[in-house]
Chain A
Amino acid sequence: MLQVKRVEKSYAKGGIFSKERQQVLNRVTFDCREGECLGIIGESGSGKSTLGRLILGIEKPDSGSVLFDGKKLKKSLSKSGIISVVFQNYKSSINPFFTVQQAIMEPMEITSRNTMESRKKVVWLLNQVGLPSSYLNKYPHELSGGEVQRVCIARAISTEPKCIILDEAISSLDVSIQTQILELLKRLKDTHNISYLFITHDIQSAAYICDRIIIFKNGQIEEIVKTENLKNTQSAYAKQLLKSLMIY
């Protein structure tokens, strides 16, 4: 469904007159099937978030392309409502001056003009993510981190996207709340048939939810494995990554 083909990206390094560039992504190619959860694991600075931004269309790749159903779309994937995103930092994910309702309505306003219907839908969405409708008029600073992240998930699924990019979406939460959100994500995936791009540095949570896992290093794909076969990884880096994992 979603295909990423030989994507490259580099950033200018140094001042205006410097020609030096830092390669962030190097010929990244993979695909994500419908209803699949694809994990992208890598250290910080490995370029996994940049990859997420490229797929969203906030930034453009230097070369290569992001295809949907084999076609390159005129508008970016996120603007056409095919892909949505949940970010890591719950503190700045919602405008502090917006109520929960306004925040969730924002992406819906672009696709539909009917405000009455969207309002009803917001209540439904809140129930979907396990929040009572009394939260409609709350402000983000009145919510806990897990609740904000639930609102962000509701906002992400409001446009009924085919795929959601979860960019470290649970990394800043407590462990107990992480599992709750993971459960929620699993449930939503089954009911709405959404595929996930689960960007994280935490192998355990990735193994919990993902069908396949991409191991990412220095802007390159080291290996793509099925979660069942995670123990039998081939590349040296993946083995090292698994070894360094703490065993409880």
Chain B
Amino acid sequence: MRFLKSLFKDKLAASSLVVILAVIIIGVFAPVFAPHDPLEVNISKKYAGSSWEYLLGTDQLGRCVLSRLIYGIRPSILWVMAALMLSVLIGAVLGFIAGYFKGKVDALIMRVCDIMLSFPGYVMPIAFVGIFGVGLENILIAFIIMKWAWFTRVIRTSVMQYTELEYIQFAKAAGVNHFKIIRRHLIPVTLADIAVISSSSVCSMILQISGFSFLGLGVQAPAPEWGMMLNEARSVMFTRPELMLAPGIAIITVVFAFNFLSDSLQTIFDPKLMKSKKIRTEKVEA
């Protein structure tokens, strides 16, 4: 509750959250919101300008751009978020184990991470797609395989920094069991870090997935996807620039929203910062 309250005090964070939630809801209930079938081809109406029937006009095959944009939320945002959550989950579990227990377990997990991280970011998904074929699922799987190592590393560092704190030392000394310590003392303090890293990396993942679709390795035509819509609009970039604007602005808006939200989360999750903010405003009022 306190979290929501402080979130809504920050107008930028609140509006970012509203944008993100709206996008998610529209994506989940795409058939309700989309005015047309995104795959319905109507050559006679190709490159139509915006009208009441087609709010954002139509593309080179006469398909409704707005509907394609709405259906495109699913692969561009929802699946990316699912993949992200899965890799954060793997990263969190391994990161907590490595950071809390340290020693040999830590060394083992970190060496595996090092191996995973030694591949350049784009090579792994491309190799994966090369072996298992083109498609969104394969790209997402490749992303999860790539990203967990990075999350493990970051979360481990955050956990390590907190395990040295004296209240955790005290809990250890008092004989509180390890899982209870992790649950009560470590997860609340590291959650802020985890939320911030995952919300900031969701942007890069959205962009990368769109990038792969732009290259034709991800989602396959005719299924709608924002990166691919950009690619399709590329051929008519100078004659019909508005076709590029729609998916472009959509990507930018969502990425901005996630970035602003992650920025604000950082301050919201810190009970000390919250308090100091309050004191400051009280002083100003007095």
Binding site for B on A (CB under 8 A): 16, 56-58, 75-76, 78-80, 84-85, 87-89, 92-98, 103, 106-107, 110, 139, 141-142, 155, 159
Set of chain A residues within 8 Å of B271, measured between Cβ atoms: 96-97, 139, 141
B195 to chain A, nearest CB (A): 15
Q: Nearest residue in A to B173 (C-beta to C-beta)?
A: A78
Pairs A–B under 8 Å by Cβ, sample size 25: A57-B173, A58-B169, A75-B175, A76-B173, A78-B174, A84-B173, A84-B174, A85-B173, A87-B166, A87-B170, A88-B166, A92-B166, A95-B167, A95-B184, A95-B185, A97-B188, A103-B167, A106-B171, A106-B174, A107-B170, A107-B174, A110-B175, A110-B176, A141-B272, A159-B174
B242 to chain A, nearest CB (A): 50
B215 to chain A, nearest CB (A): 41
Given contacts A97-B189, A139-B271, A141-B271, contact A85 B170 (CB under 8 A): yes
Interface residues of B in 239-286 (CB under 8 A from A): 271-272, 275
- Contact between A96 and B272, CB atoms less than 8 A apart: yes
Q: Nearest residue in B to A89 (C-beta to C-beta)?
A: B166
Q: Nearest residue in A to B175 (C-beta to C-beta)?
A: A79
CA distance A27 to B4 in the complex (A): 56
- Contact between B167 and A93, CB atoms less than 8 A apart: yes
Set of chain B residues within 8 Å of A106, measured between Cβ atoms: 171, 174, 176
Q: Nearest residue in B to A97 (C-beta to C-beta)?
A: B188
CA distance A94 to B165 in the complex (A): 9
Given contacts A97-B188, A97-B189, contact A141 B173 (CB under 8 A): no
A to B contact number (C-beta, < 8 Å)? 62
Partner of B170, one of A93, A96, A110: A93
- Contact between B174 and A79, CB atoms less than 8 A apart: yes
The contact string, 1 if C-beta is below 8 Å from chain A, for chain B 184-216, is 110011000000000000000000000000000
Among all A-B residue pairs, the 8 with the closest Cβ atoms = A79-B175, A107-B174, A78-B173, A87-B166, A92-B165, A97-B188, A56-B173, A92-B166
Set of chain B residues within 8 Å of A94, measured between Cβ atoms: 167
Given contacts A57-B173, A75-B175, A84-B174, contact A142 B275 (CB under 8 A): yes
Set of chain B residues within 8 Å of A84, measured between Cβ atoms: 173-174
CA distance A176 to B93 in the complex (A): 46
Q: Nearest residue in A to B186 (C-beta to C-beta)?
A: A95
A77 to chain B, nearest CB (A): 9
Set of chain A residues within 8 Å of B185, measured between Cβ atoms: 95
A-B contact sample (5 more), CB < 8 A, given A56-B173, A103-B167: A78-B173, A84-B173, A92-B166, A95-B184, A107-B170
CA distance A87 to B167 in the complex (A): 9
Interface residues of B in 146-197 (CB under 8 A from A): 165-167, 169-176, 184-185, 188-189
A16 to chain B, nearest CB (A): 7
Q: Is B86 an interface residue (CB 8 A)?
A: no
A90 to chain B, nearest CB (A): 9
- Contact between B189 and A96, CB atoms less than 8 A apart: yes
